[in-house]
Chain A
Amino acid sequence: MATAALSSRFDGLRFAGVAILSLVALAWSTPLLWMAIASFRPQSFGGLDMASLAPNFRPTLANYVEALDSADFAGLYLNTAIVCLGILAVQLVTITLAGYAFARLEFRGRTLFFYAFLLQLMLVPPILIVPNLVTITRLGLYDHLVAVMAPYFASAFGVFLMRQTFRTIPRDFEEAAAVEGAAWWQVVIHVLAPLARPGLVAFSIVSVVAHWNEFLWPLMVISSTENQTLTIGLASFTRGAESASQWGVIAAGTFLVAAPLLTAFALFQRQFVNSFLFSGVK
């Protein structure tokens, strides 16, 4: 009796939980849903239907045709992919090594250096635009894709994340490897990095999403159309300060920009969620 009552109350709670989560999920997905619907809506200003979520029209691809015609999307995709993967490749090396140093190596001022490193997280990126641009120009990298990537090669957040991840790994593994005669770099590559995989995956997702969506820095440092990234290409035909917006074209363009990330998420959903759970990144 008592257990039955308890379990039915538990079911009730469970149901309420699912209902609340569904509402939250709906609220979060509404913009995406609206974007998808608006991108297939014929251009019209006959009423308020632009804001409606109900697809009460004959779908059209005209918005996509116009968006694709407005910018060289193939080039934009390629540049954005190069930038995101380039940054990530370097970052994975730097954050693993720096994370290892802060987690395992004993040296004077370790804590101080680490906190100094963390201070970077407090800086608002726009205040670094001018100094970074000066450095990039002196290096002769202005208007190169490398210039878009360079400021991000070292990531304070990534170093912090890897240091914390390494510290959760028992030293026994390393000691066993050391007994076998492994050098420190072999320990990092063969022991620590594989064990820290969830942390690395979580960081990769955050990094790729952030740089995929980045607008201001690429806009500052890139001048040639052929070196533009997706966000700038999108902005060049969807932003207008002094007139009404062609919401359909904006929605189609935004969809094209977001599509690769959405697809990747759909494909690797389980892995993404798992690594966030493991690494404690929310």
Chain B
Amino acid sequence: MHPLTKVASATAFALALGLGSAQAATEIEMFFPVPVEGKLAKEMQSLMERFNAAHPDIKAKAVYTGSYDETNLKTHAAIKAGRPPAAVIMSANFVLEYQIADEIQPLDPLIAADGKTSDAFMDQFWPALHGNARFAGKVWGVPFHNSTPLLYFNTDHFKEVGLDPKNPPKTWAEWSDAAKKLTKREGDKTTRWGLMLPSNYDYLGWVMTALDMSNGGQYYNSEYGGEVYYDQPSMRGALTFVDNLIHRDKVMPEGETDGKAVSTAFFAGQTSMVVLSTGSLSFIRENMKSGYGVAFVPSNIRNAVAIGGASLIMPKGLSDEQRKASWELIKWLTSPAVSGGWSRFTGYFAPNKAAYDLPEMKEFLAKNPDAQVAVDQLAYARSWFATYSTVAVRKALEDEVQAVLSGKKKPLEALKAAQAKAEEIMAPYVAATAMNLPK
């Protein structure tokens, strides 16, 4: 070889090396909220370290972004500012808004590039989760961690008043009977409530969805983001049931009760039954002093609740490398082993069905049969309401329901007002879609 050629090829080789190392790792960012108690932020960082170790060509960074609502705000802002994160763990019912705003990309091309059909891909996840992830003909989100509302009850209290803890209430009639028996009064003062429901924003909407669906209702049009059914008989029945528990039977406290106050009251034995998320399961298991049990949310017409939790979404505006790296991360985070581990750590159930075939999950469920109830209820779970401007439309109902809880309004007038408010909020979307007719 000619000396010059030698030098040239050596230089080329060095350049290639240099370029190679410059391109070695695609850097991506993932936004994540911390929805449950504990050191989840730390656990998420260690998941990222494991992912990066297993994928030397990717350098993923998890960015803590506050609550679900703040994560939503930061994601919209970052997309508008031209700094989209490569992936976001987004409240499952906000995904629709991103699709309406054209800010996220469909995942079908990436699924197809892996040689899979979208049907086969979605089939990995529990059917109840499909509605919030795949709509308008495309896959927009991948379920990451999910929950349903559960009935938690104090077994010691049950035994004390002669109820069978092995046979918790299944219907609303049994539920209200149990609540009456469990309520303890001293004169005018209630020392123990039969039942408490969380009624802060977000939680209240979710609990009302569960009651409405258990009463045969739909709550919203799962096929179209411009319709809700707040003033229909199913919702009227659900809200009247709650109103009766508070103001007629006096087995539930009046006014607004924060989710944290509900769980604290349950720990303190001040209430015998509560409805809380499956996401609270680990925390209750670790901290509850007296015996407790979990059951499906009781039904009036049918067993049905809405899912909660979050999905992974991928914003638009990423480079090809980032897109590929983000897809690797999303697939890894939702794989059976990682999904199962996160589920055991948090209390959420694992969206990936195969997680429950792994030996460590089987062992865990054998030890903690309460976690099995959460999984069983999934067969009856439905999509979480998602509409145009989801949060505002949800608040339209919550404000009115809170007025009923505090005795300021009667159910029917409250629901009519909620429906009118919700329709007003969705009007621009309706005008641009369902009412956009040929001229």
The residue among A224, A232, A245 with the most chain B CB atoms within 10 A of its own CB is A245
Q: Digitize B137-168: 1 where CB-to-A-CB distance is under 8 Å, 0 elsewhere.
A: 00000000001000000000000000000000
Q: Within 8 Å CB of A50, what residues of B?
A: 264
Q: Which of B64, B80, B202 contacts A225 (CB 8 A)?
A: B64
Asked whether, in the complex, the Cβ of A244 is within 8 Å of the Cβ of B34, the reply is no
Contacts of A224 in B (CB 8 A): 61, 63
> Does B343 interact with chain A (Cβ within 8 Å)?
no
Query: B276 — which chain A residues lie within 8 A by C-beta?
Result: 242-243
* Smallest Cβ-Cβ distance to A47: which chain B residue: B268
Decide: B279 and A242 in contact? CB cutoff 8 A. Answer: yes
Q: Given A46-B268, A223-B61, A225-B64, do A137 and B83 touch, yes or no (CB 8 Å)?
A: yes
Contact with B along A128-146 (1 / 0, CB 8 A): 0110011011000010000
Say if the beta carbon of A16 comes within 8 Å of chain B.
Answer: no
For B61, the chain A residues whose CB sits under 8 A away are: 223-224
CA distance A216 to B259 in the complex (A): 23
Give the distance in Å from the alpha carbon of A142 to the alpha carbon of B79 in the complex: 13
- Residues in A neighbouring B68, C-beta threshold 8 A: 241
On whether A216 and B34 interact (CB within 8 A), knowing A45-B264, A223-B29, A244-B267, the answer reads no
Of A48, A216, A244, which one neighbours B260 at CB under 8 angstroms?
Answer: A244
How many chain A residues touch B (Cβ–Cβ < 8 Å)?
A: 34
Verify if A177 is at the interface (C-beta below 8 Å from B): no
**B257: shortest Cβ distance to chain A, in Å?**
13
Q: In the docked arrangement, what's the CA distance between A97 and B39, Å? A: 47
Does chain A have a CB within 8 A of B74? yes
A225–B260 Cα distance when bound, in Å, is 27
B81 & A136 in contact (Cβ 8 Å cutoff)? yes
Q: Which of A45, A48, A228, A241 lies in contact with B36, CB distance below 8 A?
A: A241
Complex Cα spacing A219 to B33, Å: 11
Partner of A133, one of B81, B279, B288: B81
Q: Taking the complex as formed, is B37 at the interface, i.e. its CB lies under 8 A from any CB of chain A?
A: yes
Closest beta carbon of chain B to A142's beta carbon, Å: 6
Which of A46, A129, A240, A243 is most buried by chain B, counting CB atoms within 10 A of its CB?
A243
In the complex, what's the smallest C-beta–C-beta distance from B68 to chain A, in angstroms? Answer: 6
Residues of chain A with a CB closer than 8 A to B78's CB: 133, 220
Q: B residues touching A (Cβ–Cβ < 8 Å)?
A: 29, 34-42, 45, 61, 63-68, 70, 73-74, 76-78, 80-83, 147, 202-203, 259-260, 263-264, 267-270, 276-277, 279-280, 283-284, 287-289, 308, 347
A-B contact pairs, 6 of them (CB 8 A): A134-B82, A223-B63, A236-B41, A241-B203, A244-B264, A244-B283
List the 10 shortest-distance A-B pairs measured between CB atoms, nearest first: A45-B267, A244-B263, A242-B279, A240-B37, A133-B81, A236-B41, A243-B280, A242-B277, A223-B63, A243-B283
